[in-house]
Every structure is written in C-alpha cells, then in structure tokens.
Structure 1
C-alpha cells in the first residue's frame, strides 16, 4: 500500500491535521464530531456478531482470530481498493486514519483497529501508526518484604 498511508486513532482524539477520518465501526458515533468523516471502510468494519461477542467479554485472542479471518476473506486487494477510493474522494496525499471508539491508554485495552493495523502490517510490510493515546505499560507492584 505504498501509495496509501494509513494510521489509526479514536473518534475522540482525531484532529483534522492527522489526515482523512474514516469510520471502521459497525455503528455511527453517538456524539457530535467536530469534523466530517471522509468515508466508511466497510471491509475493515467488524461483523456485527463479533461486536456483540466482544461486548459480552469475548477473549481478545478469539476475537482477533475471527476478525483476521474476516479480513483475509475480504482480501488485501479489495481492502486497498476501498481505502484508495476513500482517499481519492478526499485528499489522496493525506493519511487515511481508521477510527473507532476505544482508547488504548489503559492497560489491557484492545480494539479491532489494532488487529487491523497488525494484519495490514503483516500483509504489506508497512507500519500502521497509532495516533491516539498509546497503551501504557502496567505499573510495577511493589511488595514489602
């Protein structure tokens, strides 16, 4: 995807200077955005049954396995074409920023966009940066001896 730059972020942390905001969520934001979305990456949007299972507490590794299968079934070429169409309808030179709701700055937090970024990196060899708050390392626990 060398002719297309991709990053990830949350709806809440996105700033227009980051690039073209692209929805990757099954639902629309339930809050007002201060910017207009550039499109919806439907092929990167988790299937509704995955969203429902995640809400019920599905283990991350099980979720990732099923989501990766969805991405593989869609295919890299189709995903690339969809993202290029969104970029072309907006600013082809700006990064396409894949958005979802989940902040990653709490230990143990995950969401589909980090799995999408890992999958895309594995498929293309190109790193997909996270523009929102980064996961924090767990604070070591001190024990009195």
Structure 2
C-alpha cells in the first residue's frame, strides 16, 4: 500500500486529515505540527512575483519537468521516513481558497495530479463556490 494525497491550507489543516507536508517556499511560523518539505512541488521564489497566467504556466512547467515519478517517489519517501507509509499526506500552503481566492499552487498541483496522472487528491479546505453558470440548478 502507498500513501495517498490531499491538499489544504495550513490554517484549515487538522491532524485527522492526514500527515502535513509543506509545499511552500517558507515554513509557517505558528504551526503545531512537524512538516517535512516536499521540495519537488514547491514553487521557485521568483515565481511568487508572477501574475496568475504566467505563474500557472511556470508552475505547471516545473511540475512537468520534475515529472510524476519524481513527485510520487519524493512524497512516498516522506511518508516512509515519518512512519506513515500507508497514510494520507496533506500538501499544505498558506492560501485559503474559500475566501474568494480562486487559485494557488496547491490547486494547480491537485489538478495536475488528478487530471494529468489519474491520482486522486481532494482539497480538504474550504473551496470557493462555483461561478453562477456552473452552479447546480435546483431540482425543484
């Protein structure tokens, strides 16, 4: 059995969600849990100054250059090193998606894992509501 994956923000993370893994350039100052760093998926510092379209392109390019095998092997190595080989790893960043922010690197990572590689990776924090045209219509 191998580790499974999910994403969340540091602020919304709860220990029952899984084992926390840092995917950010910096570490949180006030976070109650140890967070090994998954450097393979961490945006480069220079990317953090980019606007949305350029950031998304640069970050997805980084993931594609790194490759799915490297990402999964690095994540599994973290799980093995912390004694959580069969547990869920929760990839964390600072952004709260439910506060109107519609993207962050973890949302691109989650989509890349799921859509490009068929690896389930649910978002465990709050997510923004879909735009009105995508909202489910009422059954009544």
Q: The TM-score by the shorter chain falls in which range?
A: 0.7 to 0.9
Which one is further off, 103-112 or 18-27? 103-112
Counterpart residue number, 2:49: 52
Unaligned 5+ residue runs, structure 1? 141-145
Question: 1:81 & 1:75 partners in 2: Cα distance?
Answer: 10
Counterpart residue number, 2:54: 62
Question: 2:114 & 2:71 partners in 1: Cα distance?
Answer: 13
Question: 2:130 & 2:113 partners in 1: Cα distance?
Answer: 24
**Tell me, what secondary structure is at the counterpart of 1:105?**
helix
Question: 1:108 & 1:13 partners in 2: Cα distance?
Answer: 15
When the two structures are superposed, what TM-score results if normalisation uses the length of structure 1? 0.83
Task: Specify which of 107, 114, 129 is matched with residue 114 of structure 1.
Answer: 107
**Tell me, what secondary structure is at the counterpart of 1:40?**
coil
Q: CA deviation at 1:137?
A: 3.7
In angstroms, what is the RMSD of aligned CA positions?
Answer: 1.8
When the two structures are aligned, how many residues end up with a matched partner? 132
Residue pairs, 1:124-139, within 5 angstroms: 124-137=117-130
Unaligned 5+ residue runs, structure 2? 134-140
Counterpart residue number, 2:22: 23
Question: 1:24 & 1:120 partners in 2: Cα distance?
Answer: 14
Q: CA deviation at 1:110?
A: 1.2
Counterpart residue number, 2:30: 32
Counterpart residue number, 2:86: 93
